Amino acid sequence: MTGLDPAIASISGALLQARVADLLALMDAAKTAHWNVRGASFLPLHELFDEVADTARKEADKLAELARSLGVYVDGRARGSLLSAMPLLTGDTCALYAGRMTEALGIMLAALRDSAGRAMEADDLVASDALVRAAAKMQRLLYLVGSLVVAG
pLDDT tens readout for residues 42-54: 999 999 999 999 9
- pTM equals 0.95
Contact 141, 105 (CB under 8 A): yes
Q: In this predicted structure, what is the pLDDT of residue 121?
A: 98
What b-and-e string marks burial along 101-138, b requiring 16 or more CB atoms within 10 Å of the CB? bbebbebbbebbbebbebbeebebeebbebbbebbebb
Q: Could you tell me how many residues make up the chain?
A: 152
Which domains are assigned to the chain?
Answer: 18-71+91-151 (1.20.1260.10)
CA-based nearest residue to 22, from 107, 86, 100, 99: 107
